[in-house]
Amino acid sequence: MIIVQKYGGTSVADAERIKNVARRIKKARAECGKVVAVLSAQGDTTDDLKAKAFEISRNPSRRELDMLLATGEQQSAALMAMALHDLGESAVSLNAAQFGLHSTSNYGSARIKRIETERVNMELERGSIVLIAGFQGVNRYGDITTLGRGASDTTAVALAAVLGADRCEIYTDVDGVYTADPRLVPSARKIPRISYEEMLELSSLGAKVLHNRSVELANKYNVKLIVRSSMTEAEGTIVWEGAKMEKMLVSGIAVDDDVSRISIVGVKDEPGVAFKIFSCLAKEKISVDMILQSIGRSKTNDISFTVACDDLSRAIETLKENRDAISWDHIGSIDRIAKLSVIGAGMATNPGVASAVFEALYDVDVNIHMISTSEIRISVLIDVQDAKRAANSIHEKFSSLNVEYAG
C-alpha cells in the first residue's frame, strides 16, 4: 500500500519539528509499507525569500522569482531525508525536475500537466521513503516554476492520484477543517467529514487549510483526503465523495484578506466599456473577482472590482496604459480589504440566509462595501479590521440556526 503525506511549513519550521515529523514518517512506513512525503518550505521561508527578492528589485523577473522560491521546499526535503537517515531509514529527497512534475510555463501560478512515476516507484521498490519538494514544477524549457501559494497540498494530491495511493494525508498546524478559521473564530467546530464540493467552496473562498486546486484534483481523481495535525494524534477531517452535509444550512465561513479593490470612476455609460476594461486585464493574466457597477451621474458609471493583492499595482498600470481606449476620470484603490463568505448547500432552498447574514453584520456594526451571491454562497467585502468581529457574529447566528434547521 502506498500513502502520500504532506507536511506544511509550521510542521517543519525548525530542527525539532523536522525530527518529530521524521518519527511520524518512520511510523507510517512501518505501518503502510510505501510512503511518499511532500514537504513545504520551513516556517516563513517562502515569504522571507520573496521579501529578499523585493529588496533587490521592485519588479523581479517571474522566472527568477520561481527559481528562488522553489529552493525553500528543496531545503525541507533534503533536511527530512537526513533526519530519516539518522533514524536508520532509507530515504531520498527529490525535486520536481528529478522525478518529473511537468507544469505549464506561467511562473508563479503554473499548472500541473503530467507527473512521471518511474523514479518515485523505483525508489519505493528499493525500500526508500521518498521526500518530495512540494510547490514546484518544471516547464517545457526545463525551467523551475511554482504552482501558486499554498500549492504543496496540490503536489501531494496529484502524486497520490498518479501513484494510486490509498490516501493522501495533509498534516498541518490545526487538527482538521473547522466551520471557520479557528484562529479567527474560537467557537468554530471541527467538521469530521466534508464533501469535496463544500471543501472546494471553502478553500476557493479563502480557507487556506487546503489549496483549492488540491481539492479539485482530489475530487476529479477520487483521492481520499485527510486533514490532520502533525503535532497531535487527534482524528482529522475526511474530505470525500460520500459525505454530503445536506442537513446543514451553512457549512462554513471563509475569510480571504488577500484582496485589493480598484474603483474606476467616471467611465462612459455605453456598450463595450466593461469589455475593454476586463479584456485588457485578462491579457495581462490578472484575475478579477467581485465586480460592481454603480450608476453615476451625467451619463457616466463607476466600476469597482477586486483582484489579489499581488496583482494590484500591475492592474492599475495596465488600466493607465489603456486610458485612451477605456476613458475614465480617475482610479481609486484600497490595498487590502477582506472578503467574507458564508457557504452552505442548504442556502439554495432557504431564502432567509442572506438576511440573517446581514443582520449578524448589523448587530456588530460592520459596514458592507460589496455583495455577491451564488446558489450556495454569500460573499461580502468588508474592512480588514472588521473581519474577526463579523465572522464571529455570523458564526454565532448560524450555530443556532443550523441546530434548528437540522432538528
State the DSSP code for 10: G
Q: Which is nearer to ligand ASP, 24 or 261 (CB)?
A: 24
State the DSSP code for 347: G
183 binds ligand ADP (CB under 6 A): yes
Q: Which is nearer to ligand ASP, 40 or 212 (CB)?
A: 40
Q: Which is nearer to ligand ADP, 177 or 357 (CB)?
A: 177
In the complex, minimum distance from the CB of residue 177 to Mg ion, in angstroms, rounded to a whole number:
12
Q: Which is nearer to ligand ASP, 69 or 92 (CB)?
A: 69
Please name the residue ranges forming H helices in 43-145: 45-56, 62-69, 71-86, 96-99, 118-125
Among 137, 150, 236, 346, binds ligand ADP (CB under 6 A): 150
Among 99, 107, 135, 178, binds ligand ADP (CB under 6 A): 178
Interface size with Mg ion, residues (CB under 5 A): 2
150 binds Mg ion (CB under 5 A): yes
In the complex, minimum distance from the CB of residue 173 to ligand ADP, in angstroms, rounded to a whole number:
5
173 binds ligand ADP (CB under 6 A): yes
Q: From the CB of residue 371, how many other CB atoms can be counted at a distance below 10 Å?
A: 14
C-alpha cell at position 165? 495511493
72 binds ligand ADP (CB under 6 A): no
10 binds, among Mg ion, ligand ASP, ligand ADP, none (CB under 5 to 8 A by kind): ligand ADP
In the complex, minimum distance from the CB of residue 230 to ligand ADP, in angstroms, rounded to a whole number:
8
137 binds Mg ion (CB under 5 A): no
Element (H, E) at 317: helix 312-321
- Calculate the CA dihedral of residues 385, 388, 394, 398 and round it to 10 degrees: 170
Task: Provide the greatest CA pair distance for the chain.
Answer: 77
Distances (CA, A) of 93 to 74, 122, 130, 360: 8, 13, 6, 50
Place of cell 475614465: 328
The β-bridge relationship of strands 330-343 and 291-295 is: unpaired
151 binds, among ligand ADP, ligand ASP, Mg ion, none (CB under 5 to 8 A by kind): ligand ASP
17 binds ligand ADP (CB under 6 A): no
41 binds, among ligand ADP, ligand ASP, Mg ion, none (CB under 5 to 8 A by kind): ligand ASP
Q: Which residues bind ligand ADP (CB under 6 A)?
A: 8-11, 40, 150, 172-174, 177-178, 180-183, 202, 207-209, 252
